[in-house]
Amino acid sequence: MTIRSAAGLEEPRLLVRGGNRLSGQVAVSGAKNSALKLMAASLLAPGTSVLHNVPDIQDVLTMQEVLEYLGAIVEFADGTMTVDTSGVQSQVAPYELVQRMRASIQIMGPLVARFGQARVAMPGGCNLGPRKIDIHLRGLAQMGATVRSDHGFVEVRSDRLQAVDMFLDYPSVGATENLLMAAVMAEGTTTLENVAREPEIVDLCKFLISMGADIEGAGSSTVKIHGVEEMHPAEHTVLGDRIEAGTFLIAGALTGGEVEVTGISPHVLDLFLSKLRSVGVRIEENTRSIKASGDIDSYKATDVATLPFPGFPTDLQAQVVVLLSIARGVSVVTENVFENRFGFVDELIRLGAEIRVDGNHAVVTGGRALTGAIVRCPDLRAGAALALAGLVAEGCTELRDVHHIDRGYERFEEKLQGLGAEVERAGACCSL
Ligand code: EPU
């Protein structure tokens, strides 16, 4: 049976046959949530910046379109991207691109800093719930910019941003990044307190420093940015994707196999790894790799609460719910970062999981044997989690709306196949 979208195009599907133990090594790709911001940061200086270890995923291609729309010349091959921003003429991010990928709004800070203006379509809500940008805008306004909104766009203007001391209401990843990029060429020294401390923020700071920025305190909750007159292009290698690493570690643990992820420092996943240990997963840490293995029958319930870094990452919440669905006992999973990140639960219940959602809590009754069914990916991480569930479900699981997975996982099924999973794209249902 062919699945057609409203536009009449064939929708890709992922077919997963459960039951195989996964084993082997998998190299993580560059982090999506760093690469996108580094691409935006390249707008700060005229000339050609070079980024290595850029993942070949849909969101990166969308950000490439955003930069090209502005007038940049972007080349991308074999994980290396060159961005020549000399010809950037436009400072507008249209609705079509922002609606496709929210991270498009990260061009706001760099455009105001370099050109004195940015006009960006307002992103609105998304599958994870309402996602405001008030902290981004309040910060830019405090730096002296005028912020106006009309016709679904927000417009920010300033001849030269002024340094400020600012305490963020919440350590928002996106707001921290936009304000950092805005502040690098502001007049004076900006102090940002209660900023996000995610490893991707540290990666962005490293790139900004190599472009000429003067930043102190990257990775702590207070950063000082001494404004400089101008920035120059630079070369940088994107750090490894901790969320991809966590996803494959859970795949290994779930199937009672042994999976080693390489190209990642265990310290960026400290709390996540400690939670896996509480479940009963064996974890071995090396300087640049992590191995997970375990015996499914020994797994037990563990409570998890998502929080900004160094807390448990919200981007691994859906995957851990799958693991807790097979661990014995009752676990409570609390989502503190997004308002609506349990959209996948009803799909997981279709596979046989027993989960009750109450507000931002999910009560997971584990020890369930899952069985394959047709499920829909509601978003990127939930899509990956449902694929993981398929690995342990009896029979075949068919994932629809897999374009969500393609936004953020490079060669997802190929990497799973390399570990021994039976996964294939489209084809006849359950030909596996
Ligand atoms: N928030 C506000 N006001 C703001 C900004 C954020 O209320 O001005 C709220 C949001 O509504 C949300 C919470 O704060 O409830 C967290 O938002 P944050 O700004 O920290 O997240 P983000 O920058 O929009 C990035 C990642 C997400 C990841 C979060 C949290 C990118 C492109 N996206 O989003 O990644 O979940 O940080 O770590 O970096 C994913 O990769 O699947 C993904 C969703």
pLDDT tens sequence across 185-197: 999 999 999 999 9
Among residues 266, 267, 269, 274, the alpha carbon closest in space to that of 303 is found at 274
Active site (annotated) includes residue 126: yes
- Residue 9, pLDDT above cutoff 90: no
- For residue 109 the two structure tokens come to 């800070």
Please tell me if the CB atom of residue 389 comes closer than 6 angstroms to any atom of ligand 1: no
How many A from CA of 423 to the centre of ligand 1?
30
- Residue 171, pLDDT above cutoff 70: yes
Q: With bands split at pLDDT 50, 70 and 90, how would you rate the model's confidence at 345?
A: very high
Q: With bands split at pLDDT 50, 70 and 90, how would you rate the model's confidence at 1?
A: very low
Q: Are 47 and 85 in contact (CB under 8 A)?
A: yes
Q: With bands split at pLDDT 50, 70 and 90, how would you rate the model's confidence at 7?
A: very low
Tell me the percentage of the chain whose pLDDT exceeds 70: 95
Is residue 328 classed as helix, strand or coil in its secondary structure?
strand
How many A from CA of 1 to the centre of ligand 1?
38
- Residue 214, pLDDT above cutoff 50: yes
Atom 17 of ligand 1: nearest residue by CA position? 172
Q: Is residue 212 exposed (0-12), middle (13-18) or buried (19+ Cβ within 10 Å)? A: middle
- Residue 392, pLDDT above cutoff 50: yes
Among residues 162, 180, 163, the alpha carbon closest in space to that of 171 is found at 180
Is residue 22 classed as helix, strand or coil in its secondary structure?
coil
Model pTM score: 0.96
Mean pLDDT for 335-363 is 97
**Residues 188, 174: Cα–Cα separation, whole Å:** 23
Among residues 232, 224, 262, the alpha carbon closest in space to that of 245 is found at 262
**Residues 207, 345: Cα–Cα separation, whole Å:** 38
pLDDT of residue 131: 74
- What letter represents residue 65's amino acid? E
Torsions phi, psi of 386, nearest 5? -65, -35
Q: Are 389 and 348 in contact (CB under 8 A)?
A: yes
pLDDT of residue 97: 94
Q: Is the peptide bond before 233 cis (omega within 30 degrees of 0)?
A: no
Sign of CA dihedral 43, 49, 51, 55: positive
Exposed e or buried b per residue across 2-18, where buried means at least 16 C-beta atoms within 10 angstroms of its C-beta: eeeeeeeeeeebbbbbb
- Residue 72, pLDDT above cutoff 80: yes
* Distance spanning both ends of the chain, measured CA to CA: 15
Q: Are 4 and 432 in contact (CB under 8 A)?
A: no
**Residues 334, 58: Cα–Cα separation, whole Å:** 29
Atom 23 of ligand 1: nearest residue by CA position? 174
Among residues 115, 195, 97, the alpha carbon closest in space to that of 156 is found at 115
User: Ligand 1, residues 169, 173, 344: which to mutate, most atoms within 8 A of Cβ?
Assistant: 173
- Residue 125, pLDDT above cutoff 80: no
How many A from CA of 198 to the centre of ligand 1?
11
- Residue 67, pLDDT above cutoff 50: yes
- In this structure, what is the dihedral angle of CA atoms 169, 172, 174, 180, given to the nearest 10 degrees? 60
> What distances in angstroms separate CA 59 from CA 65, 73, 312, 404, 407, one per listed residue?
10, 17, 23, 10, 5
Q: Give the residue with greater pLDDT, 6 vs 94.
A: 94
pLDDT of residue 368: 87
Instruction: Point out the ligand 1 atom lying closest to the alpha carbon of residue 243.
Output: 41
Mean pLDDT, the chain, whole residue set: 95
